[in-house]
Amino acid sequence: MRISLILLWACLSQLTLMAQTLRYEVHDNDLVHPRMYKERRERVLASMSPQSIAIVFSADVRNRQNDVDYEYRQSSDMLYLAGVPSPGATLLLVPRGVKIGQKIFRTVLFIKDRNPKQEVWQGVTMGPAEVIEHLEIDTAISTQYISDVLDSLLPSTDTVHLSNMPTRALSVPLTSKNIYADVDLKKWLKARQPNLIVKSPMAVLARLREVKDSAELRLMQKAIDISMEGHRLTMQGARPGMHEYELEALMEYAFKRQGAEDVGYPSIVGSSYNACILHYISNRRTTQRNDLVLADCGAEYHGYTADITRTFPMNGTFTREQRLIYNVVLEAQDSGIAASKAGDPFRAPHKAAKDVISKRLMELGIIDSADHVGRYFMHGTSHYLGLDVHDPGTSGPLQVNSVITVEPGVYIPEGSPCDKKWWNIGVRIEDDILITADGPVNMSGSLARTVEEIEAMVGKAP
Ligand code: GLY
Ligand code: MN
Ligand code: MN
C-alpha cells in the first residue's frame, strides 16, 4: 500500500515539475555516459549475494559559518556509481529486486524533491524526474520513502553493505563525545533486523575503483592536462620576491580557466623550509632569490583529480646542492616509474625509489646508514589516484588500467644532522602513472621534469 503511494507521488511530482519554469540544464558535453554508470552498478550487483543489499550515501553539506556552507562536493562512491551531483541522494542496490508500485527494480535512487522556493537561492537541482531523464537510473523517488522501502526489504535481508561514512561526524564540545555516523546507522539497522550483518566500507568498490574504465581514463587525462598547464604557467610566471600564494594563484587561475571545477586537494606551494613540510597549505611566505619551491597541485575535472609535484628554483637556476638533491630524487623517480609494472607488488615502486635515495644520500654523506633514510624520505612513493587524490584500492599486485602516483622526495629541514649546506632543501617530483600490459605510461610525462627542462621554463613567461 505504502509503496503504491510512491507511484501516485511520482505522477504528482511530474505534474508539479511541468508547472515549474526552470529547467535543469547540462552545460558539459563530455560527462560520463549513463551507460558506464549502469555497467559499474551491474558489476557491484553481480558481486553481491542474493539476500544482501547495498546502500550508497551522499556526502553531507558542511556548514562553514552561520548560513554559509562550504561548496558541495559529492562523495566519490556516489559519483562513481550514479554521477548524481546533489547532496542528500542515496543509492540502493538490491540484487533480488524491490517492488516499487507495480514494478521490480534492482537499482533505486532516493533524491530530494525539487523545491522551487529553494531554487530561487541555489539554482535548479536534480529531482527524481531529472535523474531518470539524465542518468538513466532504473527508478528515482523522493528521499522521504527511503525508510519505508528499507522496512519492506530488511526482514528478508541478511547482509547490508554500506558505502564509506565519515567515521566521526561531529565532536561535541565539553562532553568528550564524538558522534559516529557509521555506529549510529548500524544501530538503526540492527534495531529493525537484529541478525543483520553490516559491512562497511564496500570492499567491491575498492576493487572496482582501482581499475579505471575508459571514461575515467579520459577524464583523468583531462585533469592531468589541465594541471600540467597550471604547473607550466606557474613556473614560467615565477619571480623571486613573489609570495607563495601568488604562485598558487597562477596555478589555480590556470585550472579554473580550463574548466576545472575545483582543486583535487588544497594546493601545496612551499618555498625553502616550507618545502620540507609534506602537506603545507598556508602558502603565505615571501620567496627569496635562492629558494627552491615545491608545488604539489592538481586540478579536479568532473570529479577526477590529478596529483602532480614539481620543484623549481625561484631564480631559474639550481644551486650546486639543490641540483644534487634534485637529481637524486629524479633518479629515484625514474627507478620507481620503471618498477611500476602490471603484476608486480604495489610496493615495488617504493622499494626501487627508496633504494636509490638511500644509496645516493650515503654517497653524499647526508646519512651514514641506509637505516636513516626515513629521516629525509618519510612517506610512501605511491598511492592510487582517481576520483580521490588518495583513491581506494586493494594494494595488491599492480593492475592494468590502474593509475598510481610515483612521488619520491628528500626533505632536509634546518637543524638536520648533516652539513648545513643541505638545510632547507625540500624536493618532491610526482607524476601520474598508468599501469599497462606494455609497461608504465606517464600521463603527466610531458611536463618539464629534468634540471635542464625546469631551468629553461622558470621565469620565462611568454
Ligand atoms: N598531494 C598529496 C599527495 O601527493 O599525496
Ligand atoms: Mn600524491
Ligand atoms: Mn601530491
Question: pLDDT (tens digit, 9 = 90+) per residue, 64-110?
Answer: 999 999 999 999 999 999 999 999 999 999 999 999 999 999 999 99
CA of 432 to the centre of ligand 2 (A): 9
pLDDT band at 116 (very low <50, low <70, confident <90, very high): very high
pLDDT: which is higher, 178 or 333:
333
Query: What Å distances lie between residue 411 and 195, 425, 428, CA to CA?
Result: 52, 6, 8
Pocket test for ligand 1, best of 406, 430, 444 (most atoms within 8 A of CB): 430
In tens, the pLDDT along 300-313 reads 999 999 999 999 99
**Domain edge (last residue) among 158, 177, 207:** 207
Same domain, 149 and 286: no
Q: In angstroms, what is the span from residue 20 Cα to ligand 1's centroid?
A: 44
Decide which of 163, 187, 207 is a domain's last residue: 207
Does 291 sit in the ligand 1 pocket, CB within 6 Å?
no
Query: Of 25, 67, 71, 438, which is the active-site residue?
Result: 67
Residue 132 lies in a domain: yes
Residue 63 shares a structural domain with residue 147: yes
The DSSP H or E segment spanning 10 is helix 2-19
Q: Which domain holds residue 40?
A: 2-207
Report if residue 461 sits inside a domain. Answer: no
In a shared domain, residues 179 and 240:
no
- The predicted model gives 238-250 an average pLDDT of 98
Residue 321 annotated to the active site: no
460 lies in some domain: no
| CA–CA dist 244, 291 (Å, integer) | 11
Atom of ligand 1 nearest to the CA of 307: 1
Burial of 303 (0-12, 13-18, 19+ CB in 10 A): buried
Q: Are 184 and 239 part of one and the same domain? A: no
pLDDT at 9 over 60: no
Residues 388, 364 share a domain: yes
296 annotated active-site:
yes
- Identify the band that residue 1 occupies on the pLDDT scale cut at 50, 70 and 90: very low
Answer yes or no: is pLDDT of 19 > 50: no
Distance CA 355, CA 333 (A): 11
* pLDDT score, position 302: 98
Q: What percent of the chain has pLDDT over 70?
A: 95
Amino acid letter, 22: L
Q: Say how far apart CA 111 and CA 221 lie, in whole Å.
A: 31
Does residue 379 have an active-site annotation?
A: yes
Q: How many CB atoms lie within 10 A of CB 370?
A: 14
Confidence of residue 21 (pLDDT cuts 50, 70, 90): low
pLDDT in tens, 181-209: 888 999 999 999 999 999 988 899 999 99
Band of pLDDT at residue 165, cut at 50, 70 and 90: confident
The CATH number for 419's domain is 3.90.230.10
Is residue 462 situated within a structural domain? no
Indicate whether 146 pLDDT > 70. yes
CB 160 within 8 A of CB 55: yes
Cell 555506529 sits at which residue?
A: 183
- Helices 214-237 & 244-257 angle (0-180, nearest 10): 140
Q: Is 407 a catalytic residue?
A: yes
Q: Where are the alpha helices (DSSP H) in 238-319?
A: 244-257
* 388 counts as catalytic: no
Enumerate residues 6+ apart whose C-beta is below 8 A from 424.
272, 273, 275, 276, 292, 412, 413, 414
Radius of gyration of the CA atoms of the chain, in A: 25
Query: Confidence class of residue 461 from pLDDT cuts 50, 70 and 90?
Result: confident
Question: In this structure, is residue 190 part of a structural domain?
Answer: yes
The verdict on residue 397 lying in a domain is yes
> How many helices and strands in the chain, by DSSP H and E?
13, 21
Give kind and range of the element (H or E) at residue 127: none
pTM: 0.94
Q: Are residues 342 and 431 in the same domain?
A: yes
Of the listed ranges 1-5, 51-55, 385-389, the least confidently predicted one is: 1-5
Collect all residues with Cβ–Cβ distance below 8 Å to 293 and sequence separation of at least 6: 238, 244, 247, 269, 270, 271, 275, 287, 311, 312, 313, 314
Question: Average pLDDT, stretch 155-172?
Answer: 88
- One-letter amino acid at 172 equals V
User: Is the minimum distance from the CB of 130 to ligand 1 under 6 angstroms?
Assistant: no
**325 and 179: one domain?**
no
- How many structural domains does the chain have? 2
Give dist(CA 383, CA 347) in Å, integer: 10
Residue 225 in contact with ligand 1 by CB distance below 6 A: no
Looking at residue 274, what is its pLDDT?
98
Tell me: do 417 and 445 sit in the same domain.
yes
The one-letter code for the residue type at 236 is Q
Residues 77 and 163 in one domain: yes
Task: Please classify residue 185 by burial: count the beta carbons closer than 10 Å to its beta carbon, then call 0-12 exposed, 13-18 middle and 19+ buried.
Answer: middle
Checking if the pLDDT of 213 tops 60, the result is yes
Residues 84 and 190 both lie in one domain:
yes
* 217 has a pLDDT exceeding 90: yes
Residue that has been written with the C-alpha cell 585533469 in this structure: 223
Q: How confident is the model at residue 371 (pLDDT cuts 50, 70, 90)?
A: very high
Verify whether ligand 1 is closer than 6 Å to residue 380 (CB atom): no
Q: How far apart are CA 193 and CA 175, in angstroms?
A: 31
Using the predicted structure, report yes or no on whether residue 331 has a pLDDT greater than 70: yes
Is 248 a known active-site residue?
no
Best of 227, 248, 280, 309 for a ligand 1 pocket test (most atoms within 8 Å of beta carbon): 309
Average pLDDT value over all residues in the chain: 94
pLDDT at 16: 52
CA 453/CA 193 separation, integer angstroms: 63
The residues, any chain, with a CB within 8 Å of residue 158's CB and separated by 6 or more, are 49, 51, 52, 195, 196, 197
CB of 296 shorter than 6 A to ligand 1: yes
Q: Which of 248, 278, 279 to mutate to test the pocket of ligand 1 (most atoms within 8 A of CB)?
A: 279
Domain boundary among 207, 227, 256: 207
Are 140 and 268 in a shared domain? no
- Number of Cβ within 10 Å of residue 65's Cβ equals 7
110 and 181 inside one domain: yes
Q: Give whichever of 164-168, 178-182, 416-420 has the largest mean pLDDT.
A: 416-420
